[in-house]
Structure 1
Amino acid sequence: MALLIETGLSDWIGDEEIAATLQALAPGADIRTPETLGDPGDITMLAVVNMQSNHPAKLPNLKLVQKLGAGVETIVGHPDLPPHIRVARLKPDAPAQGIAEWFLAYILRAQRHMVFHEASQSRAEWLPRAPVFTPDTVVGVLGLGHIGARTARMLRAVGFQVMGWSRSPKSIDGVTCLHGQDALPRLLGQCDHVCAILPSTPQTVGLFDAQTLAAMKPGSQLLNAGRGNLIDEAALIAALDNGSPGHAVLDVTSQEPLPKDNHLWRHPAVTITPHVSGWYLGDALSDVAENYHRLRSGDPLLHEVSRDLGY
C-alpha cells in the first residue's frame, strides 16, 4: 500500500515538502511523489488538490482520493473515477481561520474607506470621511459548515450583525440563521456584505445569476472565497454596472488562473486575489496520515465525502 502526493501545483506547498511532513507523521509509510512513483500499481491512496484526467487510468489499484483541502467537485465529478473509490477531504483549522480573516480584512477595508484614503494620500489631500459603524452593519455568510461557521463567529465577535444561510437548518449563537432557497433573497436584501463560502454542487453552480444578484442590497459588497462557479461572471459584471452589488471581492474565479484578457481584471468595482485566502494547512496533514492508517486497517475514514451529495 502506497500513498502518492501529486498536487499538480507549482505555486503552493511542494509535493516533496508534503511528503516529508507525512513521512514524519507516519514513519515507515510508503509515501511517493511523481518523481519517486515507481510501479503505479502500488498506489492505493492519492492526495491531490485537483484530480487530473489520467489519474484513474494511471492508478489501477486506487482505493482513496484524499483532497488536500475542502472542495471536492473536481474529484466527485471526475467522469472516469470508478464508483468504488472513496473520497475524503480536510477540515483543518488553519485555512478556516485564514479564510475568515480574508473576509474580515476586505469588509474592514470597505468599512474604513481605505481605498478612498489611499487615493487622497496620493493627491496630498486631507479629506476626513466617517467610517461605517460596525454595529449598524449586516453581514451575511452563505454556507455554515466548518469554514462558514468560523467566519460567522469571527464577524460576530468583532461586532457585526451576522446572518447565515445554508441548505439545511443550522444554529450558531448570536447569528440569525436562515435556510432553504426561498430564504436567500430575504437575506441578500438586508446585507451590506455577503460572504460566499459554499461548496460547488449542482445546486450551487451559478447560484449568483442575474436574478440572485438583483436581490442584493444596492451598494453592497459580494465576497467569494468558496468556488468560482458559484457566480455567473457575465451576470456579475452587468449587476456591478447597475450598482447591485456595488463591489465584488473574488478570491476564486470560474477559470484559474484568471486569463489576462478577462474583463474582471479591469472592472473598477472588482477586487481580485489569486486564491490565497486559505493558504496554510497547519496540522491538517496529520489527518492525511491518519487516513492512510485507517485505509490500511479498514477503520472509518476521517471526513469521508458523499460522492452523491458532493460534500
Structure 2
Amino acid sequence: MALLVNIGHDGWYRDTELADELRRIMPTVDIRTLANPGDLTEVTVLAVSKLDPDLPARLPNLALVQKLGAGVETIVAHPAIAPHVQVARLKPLEPAREIAEYCLAYVLQGQRNIAAHAASQARTAWEPLAPKQSHKTRVGVLGLGHIGGLTAALMRDLGFEVHGWSRSPKQIEGVRCHHGAEALEPMLNLCDYICAILPSTTETRGLINAQTLAAMKPGATFINAGRGDLVDETALIAALDQGRPGHAVLDVLCTEPLPAQDPLWQHPNVTITPHVSGWHLGNALEDVMENYRRLTAGEPLLHAVDRKRGY
C-alpha cells in the first residue's frame, strides 16, 4: 500500500512539501509524489486538492480519495472514480478559523469606514465618519456547518446581531437560525453583511441569483468564502450596479484563476482575493494519516463523504 500526494494546482503547498509533512507524522508509510511515483498499482490512497481528470485511471487499486480540504464536489462527480472508491474530506479547525477571520476582516472594514477614509486621504480631505455600532448591525451567515458555525459564533461573540441560514434546522446559542428555501430571502433582506460559506451541491449552485440578490438590503456587503458556483456572476454585476448589494467580496469564483478580461476585476464595487481565506491545514494532516491507517485496518473513515449526496 502507498499514499500518493498530488495537490493538482499551483499557489498553495507543493507536493514534495506536503509529502514531507505527512512523513513526519507517520514515517513508516510509503508516501509518494508524481515526481517519483514508483509502481502506481501499489497506490491505494490519493491525497489531492484538485483532482487531475486523467489520474484515477492510472491507479487501478485506488481505494480512497482524501480531499485536502472540505469541498468535494468535483471528486464525487468524477466519472473515472470507481463506485467502490471512498471519498473523505477534512474538517480542520485552523482554516475554519482563518475563513471566519477573513469574513470578519471585511465586516470590520465596513464598520470602520476603512475604504471611505482611504478615499478621503487620497483627496487630502479631513472627513470624520462615525463608525457603525456592532449591536445595531446584522450579520448573516449562509451555511451553518463546521466553518459557518464557527463564523457565526465569532460574529456573535463580538456583539453583532447574527442570523444564520441552512437547508435544515440548526441551533447555535445566540444566533437567530433560519432554514429552508422560504426563509432565505426574508433573512437576506435583514442583513447588513452576508457571509456565504456553503458547499457546492445541486441545491446551492446558483443560489445567489437575480432573485436572491434583489432580496438583499440596499448597500449590504456580500462576502463569498464558500464556493464560486454559488453565485450567478452576471446577475451579481447587474445587482451591484443597482446597489443591492452595495459591495461584493469574492474569495471564490466560478472560474479560477479569474480570467484577466472578466468584468469582475474592474467593477468598482467588487473586491477579489485569490482563494486565500482558508490556507493552513494545521493538525488536519494527522487526519489524513489516520484515514490511511483506518483504511488499512478496515475501520470507518474520518469525515467520509456520501458520494450520492455530495457531502
- Whether TM-score is above 0.5 comes out as yes
The aligned counterpart of 1:190 is: 190
The aligned counterpart of 2:271 is: 271
| Paired AA for residue 23 in structure 2 | Q
**1-structure distance, mates of 2:83, 2:165:** 31
The aligned counterpart of 1:85 is: 85
Shift of 1:101: 0.2
| 3-state SS in 1 of match to 2:129 | coil
Output one character per residue of 1:200-258: Cα deviation in whole Å (capped at 9) or x when no partner: 00000000110111111111111000000000000000000111111100000000000
Stretch of structure 1 that moved more, 281-290 or 9-18 = 9-18
The aligned counterpart of 1:226 is: 226
Identity of aligned residues (%): 60
Q: What are the residue-to-residue correspondences of 1:101-112 with 2, within 5 Å?
A: 101-112=101-112
| 3-state SS in 1 of match to 2:252 | coil
Moved beyond 6 Å, runs of 4+: none
The aligned counterpart of 1:292 is: 292
**Is 2:149 the counterpart of 1:149?**
yes
The aligned counterpart of 2:12 is: 12
Segments of 5+ residues of structure 2 without an aligned counterpart are none
Give the TM-score of the pair, scaled to structure 1. 0.99
| 3-state SS in 2 of match to 1:120 | helix
The aligned counterpart of 1:63 is: 63
Stretch of structure 1 that moved more, 40-49 or 121-130 = 121-130
The aligned counterpart of 2:175 is: 175
**2-structure distance, mates of 1:199, 1:77:** 14
Shift of 1:9: 2.1
**2-structure distance, mates of 1:71, 1:253:** 14
Shift of 1:10: 2.2
**2-structure distance, mates of 1:219, 1:126:** 24
Give the TM-score of the pair, scaled to structure 2. 0.99
Shift of 1:123: 2.1
**2-structure distance, mates of 1:142, 1:310:** 18
Shift of 1:40: 1.0
| 3-state SS in 1 of match to 2:75 | helix
| Paired AA for residue 60 in structure 1 | P
Output one character per residue of 1:108-141: Cα deviation in whole Å (capped at 9) or x when no partner: 1011110111111122211001111111000100
**Is 2:150 the counterpart of 1:123?**
no
| 3-state SS in 1 of match to 2:10 | coil
**1-structure distance, mates of 2:239, 2:177:** 26
Q: CA RMSD in A?
A: 0.7
The aligned counterpart of 1:25 is: 25
**2-structure distance, mates of 1:81, 1:205:** 23
Shift of 1:24: 1.2
| 3-state SS in 2 of match to 1:139 | strand
The aligned counterpart of 2:51 is: 51
How many residues get paired? 311
**2-structure distance, mates of 1:246, 1:119:** 17
| 3-state SS in 2 of match to 1:189 | helix
**Is 2:244 the counterpart of 1:244?**
yes
Segments of 5+ residues of structure 1 without an aligned counterpart are none
**2-structure distance, mates of 1:269, 1:245:** 9
Output one character per residue of 1:255-289: Cα deviation in whole Å (capped at 9) or x when no partner: 00000000000000100000000011111100001
**2-structure distance, mates of 1:79, 1:164:** 35
| 3-state SS in 1 of match to 2:141 | strand
The aligned counterpart of 1:256 is: 256
**2-structure distance, mates of 1:10, 1:309:** 29
| 3-state SS in 1 of match to 2:190 | coil
Shift of 1:186: 1.1
The aligned counterpart of 1:206 is: 206
